[in-house]
Structure 1
């Protein structure tokens, strides 16, 4: 199963996801199942949800960017 990493950029702060999470495919990595599967990020994500100008960068296990979401 592929491993995806969810990195977060908020202003000048970059929060790397060093562990990642195994998900069956990219569609799952982009959906709500990813947040549920990646429980260790729940507290971080709930904190940064209220922050403006945040970007989530999803990379595959080789470090290639597969999806970027800016809010």
Structure 2
């Protein structure tokens, strides 16, 4: 099963996902990123600047396959 990595990035920060998660395919990884973005958006305080955060999904070869905005 392929491994996908869900990195968090903003204008000035990048938080690497070094563990990743095994998912059956790219479509599943895209859906997981969209759900994670929605969940993270709900966890942020109103004062947090969410407009610039994204979840960037890469595959095992470090190819960018999806970006979900918070």
TM-score by shorter chain over 0.5: yes
Cα deviations by residue, 1:3-24 (Å, 9 ceiling, x for unpaired): 0000111231111101000000
Counterpart residue number, 2:31: 31
Structure 2, unmatched stretches of 5+, are none
- The RMSD of aligned alpha carbons is 2.8
How far apart in 2 are the matches of 1:24 and 1:34? 16
Q: Count residues with an aligned counterpart.
A: 63
Aligned partners of 1:4, 1:65: CA distance in 2, in Å?
10
The higher radius of gyration belongs to 2
Q: Give the Cα–Cα distance (whole angstroms) in 1 for the partners of residues 21 and 32 of structure 2.
A: 13
| Unmatched runs of 5 consecutive residues or more in structure 1 | 37-44
In the alignment, is residue 64 of structure 1 matched against residue 63 of structure 2? yes
